[in-house]
Amino acid sequence: MKKLLFLCSVLCMFFTITTSAQSAKSMLYKGTIDGKTAITFYIKEEENPCIGGLMHTSMYRYDKSEKWIQLDITQNKKNKNQFVLVEHEFSGVMILKKEGLNFNGIWISPDSKKQLKVTLKEVRMTKKETESYEDKMEKVNYENNDC
C-alpha cells in the first residue's frame, strides 16, 4: 500500500511539473512608435522556476529592419498591467500599460529628450509562427548574452 501511495505521489508531482512547464504564453503585437514607425513586438510569459510568479521575455523590431532588439522587462507589482521594458544595451526604454488585448505607452530615448507614443495591438499566431518567434528570441538572447 505504501508503495502505491508513493507511486501516486511521484506521478502527481510529475504531472504538476509537466503542466507548469507547459504554461508559457506567447503573444505577438503589431503597432507603431510615434504613429509612424511600424514595429513588431513579441513577448513570452511563463512561470519563474526560481522564485515563483511570472517572468517575461521579449523582443521587438522596427518593421523596416531585420534586427531584433531584446528587452529586459519589469512588471509593476502593485499594478500587474504596467511594464517597464529596457532595450538591450540601454538604447531606449518603453513604459507600457496593458489595456485588454493591447499595449499603450511611451518610448523614451536614453537621454530622455525624445518621448514617443507607442501603440500595440495583439495579433494571432499559428503554432508554426510561434515556433519561429521562439527560435528568433533564442537566437537574439544567445547573440546578446553568450560569453
> What string of pLDDT tens digits covers the 147 residues of the chain?
544 444 344 344 444 444 444 578 999 999 999 999 999 999 999 887 787 777 889 999 999 999 999 999 999 989 989 999 999 999 999 999 999 999 999 999 999 999 999 999 999 999 999 999 999 999 999 999 987
Per-residue model confidence (pLDDT) at position 10: 39
Beta strand spans in the chain (E): 25-33, 37-47, 54-62, 69-75, 82-87, 93-99, 102-108, 115-123
pLDDT, position 50 = 80
CA-atom Rg of the chain in angstroms: 18
Dist CA 106 CA 121 (whole Å): 15
Nearest one of 135, 140, 103, 101 to 118, comparing CA atoms: 103
Residues spanned by the domain of 72: 24-145
CATH number of the domain where residue 97 is located = 2.40.128.120
Separation CA 111–CA 108 (nearest Å): 8
Does 11 map to a domain?
no
Task: Count up the domains in the chain and report the number.
Answer: 1
